[in-house]
Every structure is written in structure tokens, then in C-alpha cells.
Structure 1
């Protein structure tokens, strides 16, 4: 029995169609406005107690106060430096390992199963061990972020390597190139656009591990201030810290996207 599938013409909504940048921006702004309006209604109407859901104005007030006394700038810089250190260490360690895993089957068999095991372990459970291994200083906080993103990065880089077309690799071997030459002259340049997207995602995860990292005997930082405010049920400060982390994460994400477009203009959208 034959089944015929016919496409309906004239439909207004089609799958995977593109929209203009202006319309995209308007819809993106609308989503934030809707959430903000819903927040305002819930917090001011009495449906939710302001102890648990402060008004947007209360959060803005805490933000302005923190901005004026300089504490927000200081804590932001401290947290950002921790994020950057953990992120750079993950790149230095994870990218070479990921390239080897994606390039050689024996390395993949040896490394990838162990990596897949570690990536599902809860990072907060390692905090006591990290404190024993590296102490309670800055190194411990960076180590938490590193541990949280390293084992996510390795398989992503390996997948980036495997996405390189085999015909490029075979052509290089046909021309007499050695394996090391193929890696550095063919695989790495070809995988760079996707690698940048992987690093963009990893940076987002790094921000999510910030609060966990600042559990380790911290006395400053955005995550520390959220935890400190929690003890006193200071929900405006909690919301302020969460929103600042979200905004910083969004800014870094947009910067990665812009950098990718600037460096790899030849990649099709």
C-alpha cells in the first residue's frame, strides 16, 4: 500500500524558516518584557510574598547601592577572574586531549569512557576533596570550575574533530603528509569554527559553577554574596546576584558569537 504525503500550500507557519533580524530582536525583547511584567504582578499583587519574591524595584535598589559603594564591581572582577582562570586551564588541558581522542581510535578507547564517567559525577561532592588537595585559597575555587567544565569539553572537542570531512584528511595523506601534519594543517583549521561554538557553551557552564566554586571558604565574589544573603533571607540581594551572573553570562556568550562571525566569515549561517 502506498502512502502519499502532500505538502499543504499557503500555510502561514513553516518549520525552520528564517525571520528578519529586526523581528528576531523584537521577539527577544518581548520575552524579557513578559517575564519582567509577570514578576512585577506576582510580587506586588500579594500572590507571592515579597519575602520570597521581591519586587523588581527592590532588586534595582540593591543593585544601585552595590554599584555606588563599589562592592559590585569588586565582586564581579573577582568572580570573573576565577571564571577566566578555570576556563583557560580547561582549554589548555582539554583541547589537546580532545583532539587526540577524536583523531586516534586507541586514545579514544583509553580516554573517552573514563571522561564519560567523570562528566556525570556531581561537582559539589568534590568540594571537600578539593579543599584537602589544594587548600581553601583561590586555587580551590578555580579547581572547582575546571573540574566542572573539563570533562564536558573533551568529548565536545573530539566531536569537533570527527566533524572534519574525511576527504580532506585522505587528500592530505595522498599528498604524503604525516599524521602530525594532518592534525595541525588540516584538522585543527577545519574544526576551529565548531571549536569556538563548543568553547562558547563551556563558558556558559563555567558561569553556572561559580556559586559552587565560591562555596570553598570564599569571602568575596558574586556567588559568595548570594550565599551570604541566603543566610539572612535577603532575597533582593539574592536576585540581584543571580541576575548579574545571568547578564555577565549573556554578554560573554554574545562576545563569543561575535568573535566567531568575525574570525570565520566563510562559515555558512
Structure 2
């Protein structure tokens, strides 16, 4: 049988191979950038600027640790940060849910939240000291306020930005408000809550240092203030590094919690 001269020959598409780009090794990059940062810091200290070198800071840290001062300061600051941060976050989450879910709660609470959010927590410190004295209460209160304001706004935005299609679909299937809130709103808002907690954690550390600069007998901020009086730059750097290290570790802990709680989400 002869072939049709008008027939069109269709060629099969050539097999294409797509190479999946390997994700970067984040941990290795973290280690590299840490060593690069230390090297840059060491190089700057050798230029004649009044910046202590890494060995001088390490020696100061060892001296403070051997005298027990560093541990006492770390414990005092950590206790204040964790207490204020946990109390602030624990109150911010239900308040944020109320503001986002109920219109009446938003109308009553949002003006006050926005009002106090524009006032730096550091500006509240003098008033807190006058009203509460110079003990632990004013320090924890201003940390609580900083963490609360950061977390409540994020929680509120998380509830407001829940996809209405999901809520309407749940209603069509017969779900009540309580079921919708637990099964739809809370899971969808979780990433926003954890972002707010991370921001609140940074605000808590910044606030505790400022509070300890004004009225404290122990703490990293207090130790840095005393070192500033005597122009003890290595001790100041020790305080900065310890705060940064603990802040980074606590932030990474929240990231791990976020990855566990939001494993259902699609990630890029």
C-alpha cells in the first residue's frame, strides 16, 4: 500500500529534562555569614576605631561569667522578658480574635489599640515607675505592653484576612459559628499570630533594656549602663552579643513552632 503524499508527518516532541534547582543549604550559609561578620568586626577593630576586638570581648565575658555577674544579669533579663512577653501574647491573641470576628469588639477596642500603638512603650516607663515604684512591676508592665500591641494587631489582621470563601463554604455545609472559628479562622490566622509574636519578642527585648537603664540593680541593660559610665566597651559589647544571641535563639524557636503548626500550608 502506497503512502499518501499529502499526509502530514507529526513528530513526537523531544523529551525534555528539567533540572530541579537544589535548595541552598541555609545552615551552611548561616555559619558562613557568622564567620564573615566576626572577621569584618575584627578587621574594623584593627583600624584604630574605638571598637574592642573579639578576643577582648571574649575575655570580658569570661571574667563576668567567672564572677557570676553574667549569669545573674541574664537570668534577671530573661525572667522579665519571658514574663512580659508571655502575658502580653496570651492577652493579645483573644483580644485580636474578638476584634477581627465581632464588629462591636472592633468598634470598642480598635481606637484604643491604635492610640497606644502610636505611643512608644519607652514613653510609658516614667509613668509606670511613678505609679508602680522601681520594682519588677513597671519593667514587666512595659514589656507586656510592647508585646501585646505587636501581637494584637497581627492577630486582628489574620482574622480579617481569612478567605471569606472558606467561611461561606463552611456555612453552606452546615457548620456553626463556633465550628467555623475553630476549624477555619484559627488555623488560617496562626501564621499571622506567630509573626506578631516574633515582632513582640523583639519589642520585649528592646523594652527591657530601656527599663533596666532607668531603674534596676541587675540585668543586661543595667550592666551596659554601668559599663558606659566607666567607658568599659568590652562589657557593653558582651551585653549586646548576649541579647542578640538569646533573641535569635528565641526567634528560631518560634520559627520551628510555626513550621510545625502551619505544615499544611503550601510553601515556596
- TM-score for the superposition, normalised by structure 2: 0.84
The residue correspondences of 1:37-116 to structure 2 (distance < 5 A) are: 37-46=39-48, 48-49=49-50, 53-116=51-114
TM-superposed deviation, 1:175: 4.2
Tell me if 1:125 matches 2:128: no
In the alignment, the residues of structure 1 paired with residue 113 and residue 261 of structure 2 have an alpha-carbon distance, to the nearest angstrom, of 30
- 2:189 maps to 191
Alignment: residue pair count = 248
Q: Distance in 2 between matches of 1:135 and 1:181?
A: 46
Using the alignment, how far apart are the partners of 1:235 and 1:248 within structure 2? 20
- The gaps in structure 1 that reach 5 residues or longer are 1-16
How many angstroms apart in 2 are the aligned matches of 1:101 and 1:21? 40
RMSD: 2.1
Distance (whole Å) between structure 1 residues aligned to residue 99 and residue 218 of structure 2: 38
1:202-213 aligned within 5 A: 202-213=200-211
User: Matched residues in 1 for 2:132 and 2:24: separation?
Assistant: 48
Aligned twin of 1:13: none
SS at match of 1:45: coil
Supply the distance in 2 between the matched residues of 1:238 and 1:93 (Cα, whole angstroms): 34
Q: Which residue of 1 aligns with 2:12?
A: none
* Residues 160 and 194, structure 1, Cα contact 8 Å, conserved in 2: yes
* Structure 2: 5+ residue stretches without partners: 1-19
Moved more, 167-176 or 79-88: 167-176
Q: Which has the larger radius of gyration?
A: 2
The residue aligned with 1:265 is 263
CA distance in 1, matches of 2:124, 2:261: 37
Aligned residues of 1:136 and 1:216 also touching (Cα < 8 A): no
Q: Distance in 2 between matches of 1:133 and 1:30?
A: 48
CA distance in 2, matches of 1:189, 1:178: 16
Q: Distance in 2 between matches of 1:192 and 1:45?
A: 48
TM-score where L is the length of structure 1 = 0.84
